[in-house]
Amino acid sequence: MTHTPALRPALTIIGSFARVSAATKVACICAVLLAAFLSSGPLLAQKGRLPRAEVVAICEAGDIPTCTNAGAAFVDGRGGPVDLVQGVKYNQMGCEGGNAAGCANLGILTRDGRGTEADIAEARRLFTIACNGGIETACNDLGLTWADQAMAEPDKPAYFVLASKAFAQACEIGSPEGCSNLATAYYHGNGPEKSYAQALIFAEKACKLRNANGCYTAGVMHLRGEGVPQDFAEWQSYVSFACNLGHGQACTNYGYMYLEGQLGVRQDLDKAREYLARGCEGGYPNGCAGLDKLAATGK
């Protein structure tokens, strides 16, 4: 298949495992910590939301899940100033007491060197404990640490195998990011043997779990006929959904489709402008370039 010049640079499959910015890492840890807070121990559940000092007291009286809650409060500044050292202390108490969420939180802090010395080997140990305890984000985080090392040491493909195993475990217990990352592993043959059919299965599973990267990957594979017959309608469906989930590149590609009147649709400059603007606002430069092209036409 030949793409139009406008579409060709935009239509790229996800090229690496999901990465997170520093800001997103903070958001991710807060999500895990919030989950730990909401799954509080019985004393905390009976009394409702308590001042930080009371949460600490309940923890130190022996309520292990509440130790993780206390760690959460110190890390995200709930009920007082942020204190990462105390956050590490109470998440460690939760983890050592058998609370998987505490291990997941402590793994993130240890990986990032927040409140404690950065130690990737220790972070992996903690993520493994949390993953085996059913914390899906910990399985994905474990996979990302191995993927990072694999990309840093491309002569050691065994690291990709370890990454893909962790992503598979994450996906199995419901991690959208884990399924998306596993799709990428199959697409490129990083870890498992390259398989478009398997890549599509896991991309579509990620999409059903509302992962934008998974939807975009599935859409591009339908467009290219990779692992499935080429289908413009499926491409449009998946990429539109990815755009609605905030995927800037998907919005941009969708906008170019309407701008050029390609891939089974008629030219529609109003829709092109809408989707290119969403792509541009989502940080994808080709979206901004498309808007400039539209402005130059005066239409």
CATH number at residue 46: 1.25.40.10
pLDDT tens-digit readout, 207-230:
999 999 999 999 999 999 999 999
Q: Is residue 67 part of a domain?
A: yes
Alpha-carbon span 259 to 200, nearest angstrom: 28
Per-residue pLDDT at 264: 81
Q: Please check whether residue 92 is in contact with residue 107, taking contact to mean a CB–CB distance below 8 angstroms.
A: no
Q: Is residue 73 part of a domain?
A: yes
pLDDT greater than 80 at residue 98: yes
pLDDT greater than 90 at residue 153: yes
Q: What is the total count of domains within the chain?
A: 1
Q: In sequence order, what are the residues at sequence separation of 6 or more whose Cβ sits closer than 8 angstroms to the Cβ of residue 27?
A: none
Residue type, 194: K
Q: Is residue 75 part of a domain?
A: yes
Q: In sequence order, what are the residues at sequence separation of 6 or more whose Cβ sits closer than 8 angstroms to the Cβ of residue 255?
A: 271, 272, 273, 274, 275, 276, 277, 278, 279, 287, 290
Give the structural domain span for 75.
Answer: 21-133
Per-residue pLDDT at 265: 87
Q: Is residue 101 part of a domain?
A: yes
Q: Please check whether residue 237 is in contact with residue 268, taking contact to mean a CB–CB distance below 8 angstroms.
A: no
Q: Is residue 112 part of a domain?
A: yes
Measured from the Cβ of residue 149, the count of other Cβ atoms closer than 10 Å reads 17
Q: Is residue 195 part of a domain?
A: no
pLDDT tier for residue 31 given thresholds of 50, 70 and 90 = very low
Residue type, 36: A
Tell me the pLDDT of the chain averaged across its residues.
Answer: 86
Largest CA distance in the chain: 71
**pTM score over 0.85:** no
pLDDT tier for residue 26 given thresholds of 50, 70 and 90 = very low
